[in-house]
């Protein structure tokens, strides 16, 4: 089976062959943990999960690194403004490390709700300062870096070609460049690899250039080399990374060791809201928790993502997401019906469905097309255990946790219970969080007296009426 992937570098879809036998080495740009990740960010991580799962479905093993940016990402990707972490720390009256810890945990809670597989290696920027410093020194030693009074800049004019991912040429970029902030920069598109820390900056380290901290782009170059080597298979991120972050990662690797570090560069198009950009001022930057408050599960949002190919824009509306919630429940119900089905179904039909599904997902992760086949099977009038098994097999790619369908459906029935029962459930949840098992059991018995049975499952707690 051949997997075809679109590559931003070559602007073509081509047959993917890993560099190193059966192992695929992937690097994904991860979150900047200064706030809750929003559903747009999660579109990118849902894609990352889809890519992983498709490769695994095809029998590849993965070595996948995702970074956590906890230092150096300034308010603008082009080296302007304050460090996002420090700004959040000041606002919340905490240390940048506390901010990072809190939002990293929140990020992974949402990732788990979305049933997104964890990359093999999670790498925090602040835990890789020596590697980054080494990288910066190599760039400078090779003649690609220069010092100003505020930073160590990468000199893009020293490269044979810049940019390589975006279509624009350097002249266009210079013409389109914004007003310069740092008059000491040699070229408008030079970028900071190392930044001299102002007096009040909290996160700073010793370096040949005094107390300072790394520029955002450097962490991905240094950590990908550390874990995946100078040349690896696939690099992922959102389309906003193409013109700056990924161009600059490539520049840095060329400066340090003369190579574009990854062969395939894959980018996810943006999620829009109500046909426009998500922005704080419009109040439409939604989180997974906000969706849940409106009765939309994280997994329903994942299914919603499958309504568009990852390389096309996707427009989020609550109507659309609620429709995906209904669809997900229908899919779960169909799966359960097939599971209990006694009838037989033609093996040739199943084989054809499987082939069509594989063809779709292997064609640059075409999930909208693959979902068409999933629905054809789910809706099949013959109810057969074989169909349920095939749906579970497809779920290795979809990652919708179909095997726990019953639990999810039961959990939703909980919503119609009396207030006093809801309060008891909340009390029991807290007791369990505090590991107060005896109290939790007491409340369970009390609930039973009131006619409800609670069960603790992977999907969370379920409630059944006796």
Q: Which residues bind ligand AMP (CB under 6 A)?
A: 29, 31-32, 40-41, 43-44, 237-238, 240-241, 268, 270-271, 278
Q: Residue 99 or 271: which CB sits closer to ligand AMP?
A: 271
Stretch that binds Zn ion, among 13-21, 213-221, 250-258, 375-383 (CB under 5 A): 213-221
Query: What number of chain residues touch Zn ion (CB under 5 A)?
Result: 2
Stretch that binds Zn ion, among 87-95, 122-130, 220-228, 359-367 (CB under 5 A): 220-228
Cα–Cα distances in angstroms (integers) from residue 269 to residues 75, 238, 250, 461, in the given order: 21, 6, 20, 35
CB of 73 to ligand AMP, least distance (A): 7
Residue 270 binding: pick among Zn ion, ligand AMP, none (C-beta 5-8 Å cut-off by kind): ligand AMP
Residue 32 binding: pick among Zn ion, ligand AMP, none (C-beta 5-8 Å cut-off by kind): ligand AMP
CB of 318 to ligand AMP, least distance (A): 16
Could you check whether the bond before residue 416 is cis, i.e. omega within 30 degrees of 0?
no
Q: Residue 67 or 462: which CB sits closer to ligand AMP?
A: 67
Residue 221 binding: pick among Zn ion, ligand AMP, none (C-beta 5-8 Å cut-off by kind): none
Q: Residue 287 or 412: which CB sits closer to ligand AMP?
A: 287
Residue 117 binding: pick among ligand AMP, Zn ion, none (C-beta 5-8 Å cut-off by kind): none
**Helices within 306-404 (DSSP H only):** 318-340, 347-362, 367-378, 385-398
CB of 313 to ligand AMP, least distance (A): 9
CB of 40 to ligand AMP, least distance (A): 3
CB of 172 to ligand AMP, least distance (A): 22
Neighbours of 373 (CB within 10 A): 21
Cα–Cα dist 81/287, whole Å? 25
Cα–Cα dist 31/102, whole Å? 13
Q: Residue 253 or 404: which CB sits closer to Zn ion?
A: 253
**DSSP assignments along 406-436, one per residue:** HHHHHHHHGGGS-HHHHHHHHHHHHHHHTT-
Residue 31 binding: pick among Zn ion, ligand AMP, none (C-beta 5-8 Å cut-off by kind): ligand AMP
Cα–Cα dist 140/123, whole Å? 24
CB of 339 to ligand AMP, least distance (A): 35
Cα–Cα dist 41/115, whole Å? 15
Q: Residue 220 or 425: which CB sits closer to Zn ion?
A: 220
Residue 268 binding: pick among ligand AMP, Zn ion, none (C-beta 5-8 Å cut-off by kind): ligand AMP
Q: Which residue is nearest to ligand AMP (CB)?
A: 238
**DSSP assignments along 247-269, one per residue:** HHHHHHHHHHHSS-SEEEEEEEP
Handedness of CA 419, 424, 430, 432 (dihedral sign): negative
Residue 215 binding: pick among Zn ion, ligand AMP, none (C-beta 5-8 Å cut-off by kind): none
Cα–Cα dist 310/294, whole Å? 25
User: Which is nearest to 285 in space by CA: 304, 302, 270, 300?
Assistant: 270
Q: Residue 244 or 362: which CB sits closer to Zn ion?
A: 244
Please pick, from the candidates 165, 220, 371, 421, the single residue that binds Zn ion as defined by CB under 5 A. Answer: 220
CA 105, 106, 107: angle at the middle one, nearest 5? Answer: 90
Side by side, the strands of the sheet bearing 145-147 are 145-147, 151-154, 191-196, 212-214
Q: Residue 33 or 388: which CB sits closer to ligand AMP?
A: 33
CB of 249 to Zn ion, least distance (A): 6
CB of 336 to ligand AMP, least distance (A): 33
C-beta of residue 377 within 8 angstroms of C-beta of residue 390 = yes
CB of 429 to Zn ion, least distance (A): 37
Neighbours of 76 (CB within 10 A): 12
Residue 43 binding: pick among ligand AMP, Zn ion, none (C-beta 5-8 Å cut-off by kind): ligand AMP
**DSSP assignments along 159-219, one per residue:** SSSS-SSSS--HHHHHHHPPPPS-TT-SSTT-EEEEEEPPTT-SS-B--TTSSEEE-HHHH
Residue 163 binding: pick among ligand AMP, Zn ion, none (C-beta 5-8 Å cut-off by kind): none
Q: Per-residue string for binding with Zn ion, 4-43, x by CB under 5 A?
A: -------------------------x--------------
> What's CA 355's distance to the chain center, in Å?
28
Neighbours of 42 (CB within 10 A): 28
Residues in contact with Zn ion by the rule CB under 5 A: 29, 220
């Amino acid at each position: 089976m051949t997997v075809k992937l679109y590559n931003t570098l070559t602007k073509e879809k081509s047959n993917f062959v890993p560099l190193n036998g059966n192992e695929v080495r992937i690097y994904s740009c991860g979150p900047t943990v200064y706030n809750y990740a929003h559903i747009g960010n999660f579109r990118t991580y849902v894609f990352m999960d889809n890519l992983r799962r498709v490769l695994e479905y095809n029998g590849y093993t993965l070595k996948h690194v995702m970074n956590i940016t906890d230092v150096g990402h300034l308010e603008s990707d082009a080296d302007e403004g304050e460090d996002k972490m420090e700004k959040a720390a000041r606002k919340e009256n905490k240390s940048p490390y506390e901010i990072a810890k809190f939002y990293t945990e929140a990020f992974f809670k949402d990732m788990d709700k979305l049933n997104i597989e964890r990359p093999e290696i999670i790498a925090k920027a602040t835990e890789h300062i020596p590697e980054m410093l080494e990288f910066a020194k190599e760039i400078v030693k090779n003649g690609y870096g220069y010092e100003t009074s505020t930073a160590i800049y990468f000199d893009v004019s020293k490269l044979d070609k810049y940019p390589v991912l975006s279509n624009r040429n350097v002249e266009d970029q210079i013409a389109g460049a914004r007003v310069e902030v740092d008059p000491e920069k040699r070229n408008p598109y030079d970028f900071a690899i190392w930044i001299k820390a102002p007096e009040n900056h909290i996160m700073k380290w010793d370096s040949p250039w005094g107390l300072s901290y790394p520029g955002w782009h450097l962490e991905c170059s240094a950590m990908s080399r550390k874990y995946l080597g100078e040349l690896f298979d696939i690099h992922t991120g959102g389309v906003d990374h193409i013109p700056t972050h990924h161009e600059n990662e490539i520049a840095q690797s060329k400066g340090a060791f003369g190579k574009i570090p990854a062969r395939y560069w894959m980018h996810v198009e943006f999620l829009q809201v109500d046909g426009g950009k998500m922005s704080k001022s419009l109040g439409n930057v939604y989180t997974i928790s906000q969706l849940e408050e409106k009765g939309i599960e994280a997994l329903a949002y994942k299914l919603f993502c499958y309504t568009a190919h990852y390389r096309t824009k996707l427009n989020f509306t609550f109507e659309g997401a609620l429709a995906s919630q209904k669809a997900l429940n229908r899919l779960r119900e169909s799966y359960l019906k097939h599971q209990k089905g006694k009838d037989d179904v033609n093996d040739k039909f199943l084989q054809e469905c499987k082939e069509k599904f594989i063809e779709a997902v292997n064609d640059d992760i075409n999930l909208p097309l693959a979902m068409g086949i999933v629905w054809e099977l789910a809706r099949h009038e013959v109810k057969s255990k074989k169909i349920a098994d095939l749906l579970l097999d497809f779920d290795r790619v979809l990652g919708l946790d179909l095997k726990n369908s019953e639990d999810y459906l039961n959990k939703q029935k909980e919503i119609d219970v009396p207030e006093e029962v809801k309060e008891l459930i909340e009390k029991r949840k807290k007791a369990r969080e505090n590991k107060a098992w005896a109290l939790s059991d007491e409340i369970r018995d009390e609930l039973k007296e009131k006619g409800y049975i609670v069960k603790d499952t992977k999907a969370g707690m379920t409630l059944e009426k006796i």
